[in-house]
Amino acid sequence: MLGLLTRPAHKNLFDPFILLDEFASADSADYIGGFPEHPHRGFETVTYMLEGAMLHRDHLGNEGHLRAGSVQWMTAAHGIIHSEMPEQKEGLLHGFQLWINLPAKEKMKPPHYQEFIATEIPQVALVNDGTIKIIAGDYYSGQNKVSGPVTGVATQPLFFDIELRQQQQLNIPVDAQYTALVYVYEGELYNGESRQILMAGQLGLLTDGDELCVLTRNKPVRFLLLAAMPLKEPVVQSGPFVMNSKEEIEQAFRDYRDGVLTL
């Protein structure tokens, strides 16, 4: 698990990202308990499955069956109470959950979802058999723009799942104003000067530039590129709630205890 802890806004290098969790196990004892009913307020959760099956249910009666390659983009906003439980008793369960902050003006809006199966996520073939799956944002391939299915998100994010083969280089423009992260989950990744920067399980924060330039050597690599416009607002996080002040966090806990978090 990789956690990105929030800090005061002027020191939060990861703004608007709150947390990134990679879950991966073939031992059912690690995941069979799942994530029973729990609340959220004030941010968005993005669940991206690589392998396995999960069932989402919430207090509104919604159900989502997440399978390999699918994405659920849940905007908790004012409040949601939901559960995420495995729909398998054995085998590999592998995926990611990303938390992205919401601007103050959207934290108390009604919750909503965007869900997409694997075939709804565009994939761009690269030279030497590499690929880019475009979940959110735009990727320019020659004269063509390929857009991910996720839309209407305040932080205008990029969410790419990228696979490169051996001896392959990739350059991707990234808005210089964005906070941009690279998380490697298989293999090793090098920067444009062939210096090793990231191994599997490591995350890098990109700085000082408007282009990601990476390459591989003798091993293929799989990694996530995550980028979004920072909010530059105060951040206070406590458990499942992300707000702008301590008072708002205390109100969220009171609302949950009083049964009015979702009203």
- 130 neighbors 165 (Cβ within 8 angstroms): yes
- HSE, side-chain direction, 13 A CA sphere, residue 194: 4
Strand, coil or helix: 61: coil
User: pTM for the complete prediction?
Assistant: 0.93
Residues 95 and 197 occupy one common structural domain: no
Which of 96, 227, 97, 102 is closest to 152 using CA atoms?
A: 102
Q: What are phi and psi of 107, to 5 degrees?
A: -65, -25
Mean pLDDT of 184-205: 88
pLDDT of residue 194: 62
Positive or negative CA dihedral for 189, 190, 195, 197? Answer: negative
Residues 44-73 pLDDT 10s: 999 999 999 999 999 988 889 999 999 999
Domain coverage including residue 205: 121-232
Q: Residue 253: inside a domain, yes or no?
A: no
* 10, pLDDT greater than 50: no
pLDDT band at 11 (very low <50, low <70, confident <90, very high): low
- 212 neighbors 180 (Cβ within 8 angstroms): yes
CATH label of the domain that carries residue 134:
2.60.120.10
Q: Residue 3: inside a domain, yes or no?
A: no
Residues 128 and 228 occupy one common structural domain: yes
How many domains is the chain built from?
A: 2
Residues 18-36 pLDDT 10s: 999 999 999 999 999 999 9
Residues 103-136 pLDDT 10s: 999 999 999 999 999 999 999 999 878 999 999 9
Residues 102 and 147 occupy one common structural domain: no
